Amino acid sequence: MQKPRKIVIVSQHYAPDPSTTASYMTAIAAGLTSIAEVLVISGTRNSSSWSFGIQQPTVVEIISRTPPKNALAKRALAMLVFSIRTFFATLLRTRKHDLVFCVTTPFTLPYAVTLAAKLRSAATVLLIYDLYPEALEMTGLVKRDSLLSKIVRVANGLLLRSLDSIITIGRDVEPLLLRYHGVSSKKIEFIPNWALLPLGYRPVTFENPFRASHGNKLVIGLSGNLGFTHSATTVFEAAQLLQDNPNIQFMLSGWGPGWQQLNKLQTVNKLGNVTLVDPVPEAALEDFLAAADVWVIPYRRNVAGVSVPSRLYNLLAIGRSVIVAAESTSEAAMIVREEDLGWVVPPEAPQELAAAIQSAAADRVATTQKGERSAIAARRYTHDYAVERYRQVVSNTISRHIGHEI
């Protein structure tokens, strides 16, 4: 099996950035050092001086700015500037028979990086976290028949056909990719993400500081990045429907636009069955996730294939049942259904969500058993398995790339 001369990984987010994307990209880069020299082109400040082990990549920092998500024009300009800078950085540091590995954050990045790689006759791998323009369309930020969507789709067709390998973190992504003319399933690889917390079922205890005030109620949790692909209001509306049930309590947290919406809704409605918890530090995340009996992942409509919730794997790791509000074809819904870990309800449907929560409350033993199955299922989504798959894909990709040149 052929190994690349050098692997160039391009990611805006990298350690010490606390984001989930940074955690995964840092782990992937470290894991690939066992098969080749790894150079990371990072948009994270202080990443070049970050140390996390004996084998670690060389890191080159590119200046990057990330305006707030609601400052759309500024974010678009920042994405464009960062992509242009990474184009030249990649072009400067890449040679023939290298492999360039890029992620879809920001969405303009793959076009610039892949072009630079092609100009150097390097192999190319794209890791898809979010799919554009579909993600923008499903949030209503752009219309499907808009000029922007048409331009991005044309660019996607050129990009996807030119790549040597495409990695998805959800099985629901491939059908969307195959809509593009000339894209073959042979170049698409599925590698799921993994839990960033230690694996093992955590029983619910009243000593947990996040749980203490809720007693023996069924606690429904919401947390994480509540971005434009999520419908936090659906969870709040379900709480409104269940506010007369004294045995159910909602513990809601997170960040992003959805968190702001929740604060506004609670300020107006003052629901007694809703507790808002400010985003917790990473050191307290394990206790926080263990404090709820059931967690909700509430997506907006048409999310299948567009975005995959990495938070699901941490919920499996601690052993909690999950309610996924999304299309049944989404990756999260498939995992929950295949492993019998919880409930799948339609997106943006508060009545159906409330009904699933009532089912969880009606049989607490069965709900706990679903959580126990989650902890077992988490063993199939591990760092070691994923990193080994990344090594295989990289090695196979460079072998095919060099073989095509012979």
pLDDT digits (tens, 9 = 90+) for 305-348: 887 778 899 999 999 999 999 999 999 999 999 999 999 999 99
Q: Whose CA is closest to 124, among 136, 139, 143, 109?
A: 109
Q: Please give the DSSP secondary-structure letter assigned to residue 214.
A: G
Question: Which of the pair, 51 or 259, is modelled with greater confidence?
Answer: 259
Indicate the residue type of 235: V
pLDDT tens by residue, 361-388: 999 999 999 999 999 999 999 999 999 9
Looking at residue 67, what is its pLDDT? 65
For residue 380, what pLDDT is reported? 93
Confidence of residue 68 (pLDDT cuts 50, 70, 90): low
- Given the candidates 3.30.1370.60, 3.40.50.300, 3.40.228.10, 3.40.50.2000, the CATH classification of the domain at 212-380 is 3.40.50.2000
Specify the higher pLDDT residue, 270 or 77: 270
The confidence score (pLDDT) of residue 4 equals 74
User: What is the pLDDT at residue 138?
Assistant: 80
Q: Which residues contact 281 (CB under 8 A, 6 or more apart)?
A: none
Q: What is the mean pLDDT of residues 300-309?
A: 85
Q: b/e for 73-106, b at 16 or more Cβ within 10 A?
A: eebeebbeebbebbbebbeebbeebbbbbbbbbb
The correct answer on CATH 3.30.460.80 for the domain covering 6-194+383-405 is: no
Do residues 187 and 163 make contact, with C-beta atoms less than 8 angstroms apart? yes
Cβ atoms of 297 and 309 closer than 8 Å: yes
| Domain boundaries of the chain, sorted by first residue | 6-194+383-405, 212-380
More confident residue, 133 or 364: 364
The confidence score (pLDDT) of residue 227 equals: 87
Residue 236 confidence class, pLDDT cut points 50, 70, 90: very high
Residue 66 in this model has a pLDDT that exceeds 90: no
Confidence at residue 405, expressed as pLDDT on a 0 to 100 scale: 62
Contact 247, 217 (CB under 8 A): yes
Task: List, for residues 144-197, the tens digit of each pLDDT value.
Answer: 889 988 998 999 999 999 999 999 999 999 999 999 999 999 999 999 999 999
pLDDT digits (tens, 9 = 90+) for 218-234: 999 999 989 888 999 99
pLDDT for residue 71 is more than 80: no
> What is the DSSP secondary structure assignment for residue 179, as one 8-state letter?
T
Label the pairing between strands 274-276 and 294-298.
Answer: unpaired
Q: How many other CB atoms are there within 10 angstroms of residue 36's CB atom? A: 19
- Paired tokens of 2: 């052929």
Whether residue 133 is preceded by a cis peptide bond, meaning omega within 30 degrees of 0, is yes
The proportion of the chain whose per-residue pLDDT surpasses 70, expressed as a percent, equals 96
* CA distances in angstroms from 296 to 73, 115, 232, 278, 377, listed in the order given: 32, 40, 10, 17, 18
Q: Is the pLDDT of residue 72 over 90?
A: no
Helix segments in 254-345, DSSP class H:
257-269, 285-290, 311-318, 331-339
Closest alpha carbon to 218 in 162, 161, 148, 293 = 293
Per the prediction, the chain carries an average pLDDT of 92
> Where are any strands of DSSP class E within 143-291?
165-168, 188-190, 218-222, 248-252, 274-276
Strands (E), 217-320: 218-222, 248-252, 274-276, 294-298
pTM tops 0.85: yes
Write out the two tokens for 336.
């929950």
Q: Which residues contact 313 (CB under 8 A, 6 or more apart)?
A: 192, 193, 194, 195, 196, 378, 381
What average pLDDT does the segment 347-353 reach?
97
Least confident of 45-49, 185-189, 353-357, 378-382: 45-49
d(CA 12, CA 151): 23
- Same fold flag, 6-194+383-405 and 212-380: yes
Nearest CA among 71, 46, 186, 127 for reference residue 387: 127
Instruction: List pLDDT tens digits, range 247-299.
Output: 999 999 999 999 999 999 999 999 999 999 999 998 999 999 999 999 999 99
**What confidence tier does 352 reach under pLDDT thresholds 50, 70, 90?**
very high
pLDDT at position 135: 82
Q: What is the per-residue pLDDT for 344? A: 98
Identify the pLDDT of residue 310.
85
How far is the C-alpha of 263 from the C-alpha of 279, rounded, in Å? 12
Residues 6+ apart with CB under 8 A from 347: 231, 234, 298, 299, 300, 301, 303, 325, 326, 327
Q: What percent of the chain has pLDDT over 90?
A: 77
